[in-house]
Structure 1
């Protein structure tokens, strides 16, 4: 198996960052329309604010409506762009605008793909529009920006390379009831990211990091969450998805103490990029994510041992 991220990554002192987020999305059938406003809130705002505070770093901040980025200073090293990751032409236009702004030798150093919203509810009730839009935004949006970023990074004459953070989730590591299409999109992001990471030639020095946070404040408060219309067959309180919903709601009412601050997530992303060490392919983020990932792996290893004889089909392992 080809190794990934084989070299230590050193963030240039004048690095250029691209932070990418999703547009406001409309659903004809959902109970709750997601209201993600790109760099204007949550992790997006926290990361954009952090990078903007670094005097020598350049920032390309994106949102569906660039006017929502007015909190960022208007300086030559900050470019505010409109970007709709569901539109190939919008992605191409954003890269063209960045090249025009920063010059022909424009080089991306760090890309943060954070396109996403949670789609929850009973899988049987999901419409074609809901399931396709979830995959189009979370998965194909990430694919579009990642492939354009790789194209830019590998063409650097000095092998400057780069770093691509694809924001997955604990939901990209294990599946929970009532979020089938969100899990599917995040599992797809993880498989895509690992495969592309193994395609990179070591000399290109292009690194990938799949970030797997658990709950982040604002994430479960309607800002980035859409709901499928409920299905009557799954309405009973003892159904697995309803039990999980009750548990999550109790946590939110109790103050959501386990949810991470967006600023803490932003600081960790910057630390990984700036610490001068080998980039981890996967980064469970937060104590909850780390513990649940570990428990899931231990459970899978136990199950694997139990079916060893069947899996081997009579062969010695």
Structure 2
């Protein structure tokens, strides 16, 4: 099996960051952090450029672009505009695929449009941006012929490892990002120095309850309070009312962590759970899988010793 992220990564002093979904939340926090670094360069994107007004104008190191990750033409146009803006000095060192929204609700009530749009945004949007980024990163070399490389941070979630009731299509999108990212990471030649990091935060203090969260229509068969999705909703809402919001990660802390991973001069981890809740629940999921393996060991081996 081809190894992943085999070498320590050194973030260039003039690194260029491309971040999707910068209108609010995680994307905005990362964009604000990079914009505060005088020598780092930023390509901040959002579907509506007006949502990027919090970033300063007139700074040659900051480029604000319209980008709809569900449109291949929009992705192509953004990369073309970035190359034109920075000219012969265009490098792409760090990409953060953050654009997305949560679709929750009863799976049976999801429309074809709702389920396809969720996958287009979470999964295919990540694919479109990442494949364009790889093409730039793997060909970029320093004057002495060494591959400059880069890092692709794909923002997954605890939801990319652990499936919970009432969010099946959000889980599907994040699970897809996880598997696809691991596979593509194994396709990279070690000399290219292209690194992948799948970021798996638990709850983050964002406006997911605003324009970043969509709901399917309620389905009458699932409305009884004893149904798993309704019980989960009850416990989550009760926890928030009781002050459990303190368990949520601040977007600024997440941004600082990603910058630290990029700048610390060490190997990039393939997976990065963030938050105590994410770490504990992912560990529990892995331990549970080991137990399930033992239960079916004899069947799996089909009469052979394992």
| TM bracket, shorter-chain basis | over 0.9
Q: Deviations over 1:42-75 (max 9, x none)?
A: 1111111100010100000001111221211120
Question: Residues 78-227 of structure 1 correspond to what in structure 2 (within 5 A)?
Answer: 78-158=62-142, 159-227=147-215
SS in 1 for 2:214: strand
What RMSD, in angstroms, separates the aligned Cα atoms of the two structures? 1.0
Report the counterpart of residue 64 of structure 1 in structure 2. Answer: 47
1:228 paired to 2:188: no
SS in 2 for 1:152: helix
- Shifted more, 102-111 versus 148-157: the winner is 102-111
Following TM superposition, the consecutive aligned residue runs of length 4 or more in structure 1 with deviations greater than 4 angstroms are none
Report the counterpart of residue 281 of structure 2 in structure 1. Answer: 292
Report the counterpart of residue 51 of structure 1 in structure 2. Answer: 34
Report the counterpart of residue 36 of structure 1 in structure 2. Answer: none
TM-score by length of 1: 0.93
Whether the 8 Å contact between 2:4 and 2:185 is mirrored in structure 1 is yes
SS in 2 for 1:103: helix
C-alpha deviation, 1:220, in angstroms: 4.4
| Separation (CA, whole Å) in 2 of partners of 1:194 and 1:219 | 29
C-alpha deviation, 1:40, in angstroms: 3.0
Report the counterpart of residue 267 of structure 2 in structure 1. Answer: 278
| Separation (CA, whole Å) in 2 of partners of 1:254 and 1:118 | 23
SS in 2 for 1:195: helix
SS in 2 for 1:212: strand
SS in 2 for 1:59: strand
- Unpaired runs of at least 5, structure 2: none
C-alpha deviation, 1:251, in angstroms: 2.0
Report the counterpart of residue 34 of structure 1 in structure 2. Answer: none
C-alpha deviation, 1:102, in angstroms: 0.3
TM-score by length of 2: 0.96
Whether the 8 Å contact between 2:204 and 2:248 is mirrored in structure 1 is yes
- Unpaired runs of at least 5, structure 1: 22-38
